[in-house]
């Protein structure tokens, strides 16, 4: 009888799989699965629910024969020249984006681009404003303004201090039994937050986060870590990988929820919300129903050169 499990780690050829009984094994995929209809460099990814043959092969290893339908997945452009995609992770329940006003500064354009990417991957996102205990009153006012802005769009926001374990109890409860990503620039406190959620993960998470988030990738594969309290945290090979991937410019506005609700009110059905007359989106920007910073990011995405590596590195 087939065995089911969830993929914790992928190295291309071998997969670390946690079975339903909690045991962890190493498995590989059948050649057929590797080749059939393959448009990505890897047919199986971290977070996939896989089906394994019940009988091991001659080497005592189980083979992955199939996988269950994904509810979502994250991809990035492959590093080879084939223009294929690499699936980083599958079945992500929620992404948590850590944001700081200083040390380091998280630019609004970066937040918006991350949210657009998450929308395109159908991953709900929560914004965590970290290091709240280090801010002056005027900076707290800025955080409050940003919380109001993004919550009005539909993104839950929380003010936390991962280092002091302040206001993170909700997160520990929220991620129980789920597969989540905790993302953000290097230095925003990702490792500190993960350690606060599960101190047993201290050493390895710190090493992975630093290597990945600084862009000095020691691996091109994601890994999923099991929390003692239940649930999993997905570590991807760098925040830049979680960027805008081959989105048609004609539909980028659909990934801005506040624009999506107004698209039907524009005079032209194919309105790009730039210079067209009677554009509901531009009118909303003018009357400040849509934040100017969000619209500026939209224009950047619509007009930038996708092959401009410098711009991609700055913004996403």
Whole-prediction pTM value? 0.85
Q: How far, in whole angstroms, is CA 222 from its chain's centroid?
A: 12
Decide if 99 contacts 129 (C-beta within 8 A): yes
Higher pLDDT among residues 84 and 43, named by residue: 43
Q: Given this model, what pLDDT does residue 35 score?
A: 52
pLDDT at 32: 67
Instruction: Look up tokens 């290893």; give the residue.
Output: 61
Maximum average pLDDT range among 48-57, 146-155, 176-185, 264-273:
146-155
Who has greater pLDDT, 77 or 199?
199
| pLDDT computed for residue 187 by the predictor | 84
pLDDT in tens, 168-208: 999 999 999 999 998 888 788 888 898 888 888 764 444 44
**pLDDT given for residue 223 in this prediction:** 84
Domain with CATH 2.40.50.140 in the chain: 3-69
Phi, psi of 49 (to 5 degrees): -90, 115
Q: Which CATH architecture has domain 3-69?
A: Beta Barrel (2.40)
pLDDT tens, residue by residue, 231-287: 999 876 555 545 566 678 889 999 999 999 999 999 999 999 999 999 999 999 999
Residue 4 has pLDDT above 80, yes or no: yes
Q: Any idea how long the chain is?
A: 316
CATH of domain 92-241: 3.40.50.300
Identify which has the larger pLDDT, 209 or 293.
293
Q: Residue 49: pLDDT above 80?
A: yes
Q: What is the pLDDT, as a whole number, of residue 29? A: 86
Look up tokens 């730039």; give the residue.
Answer: 274
Of 54 and 78, the one with more pLDDT: 54
Residues carrying CATH 1.10.40.50, the chain:
249-315
96 contacts 189 by C-beta, under 8 angstroms: no
pLDDT band (50, 70, 90) for residue 228: confident
User: What percentage of the chain has pLDDT greater than the value 90?
Assistant: 53
Q: Is the pLDDT confidence value at 312 over 70?
A: no
CATH number for the domain whose boundaries are 249-315: 1.10.40.50
Average pLDDT, the chain: 84
* CA distance between the termini of the chain: 45
Burial 257-288 (b: 16+ CB within 10 A, else e): ebbeebbeebeeeebbbeeeeebbbbebbeee
Q: CA-CA distance, 157 to 142, in Å (whole number)?
A: 13
């Amino acid at each position: 009888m087939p065995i089911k499990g969830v993929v914790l780690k992928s190295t291309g050829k071998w997969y670390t799989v946690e079975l339903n009984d909690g045991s962890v094994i190493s498995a590989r995929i059948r050649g057929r699965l590797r080749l059939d209809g393959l448009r990505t460099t890897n047919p199986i990814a971290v977070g996939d629910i896989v089906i394994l043959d019940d009988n091991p092969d001659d080497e005592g290893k189980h083979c992955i024969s199939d996988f269950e339908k994904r509810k979502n997945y994250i991809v990035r452009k492959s590093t080879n020249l084939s223009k294929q995609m690499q699936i980083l992770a599958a079945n992500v329940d929620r992404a948590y984006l850590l944001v700081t006003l200083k040390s380091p500064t998280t630019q609004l354009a970066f937040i918006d681009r991350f949210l657009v990417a998450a929308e395109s991957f159908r991953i709900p996102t929560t914004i965590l404003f970290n290091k709240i205990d280090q801010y002056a009153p005027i900076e707290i006012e800025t955080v409050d303004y940003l919380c109001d802005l993004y919550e009005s769009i539909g993104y839950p926001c929380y003010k936390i201090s991962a280092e002091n374990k302040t206001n993170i109890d909700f997160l520990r409860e929220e991620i129980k039994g789920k597969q989540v990503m905790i993302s953000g620039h290097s230095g925003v406190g990702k490792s500190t937050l993960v350690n606060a959620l599960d101190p047993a993960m201290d050493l390895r998470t710190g090493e992975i986060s630093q290597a990945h988030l600084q862009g000095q990738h020691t691996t091109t594969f994601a890994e999923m870590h099991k929390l003692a309290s239940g649930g999993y945290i997905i570590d991807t090979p760098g925040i830049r990988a979680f960027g805008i991937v081959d989105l048609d410019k004609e539909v980028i506005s659909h990934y801005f929820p506040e624009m999506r609700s107004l698209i039907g009110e524009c005079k032209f059905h194919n309105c790009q919300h730039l210079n067209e007359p009677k554009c509901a989106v531009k009118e909303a920007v003018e009357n400040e129903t849509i934040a100017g910073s969000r619209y500026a990011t939209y224009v950047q995405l619509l007009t930038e050169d996708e092959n401009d590596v410098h711009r991609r590195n700055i913004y996403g």
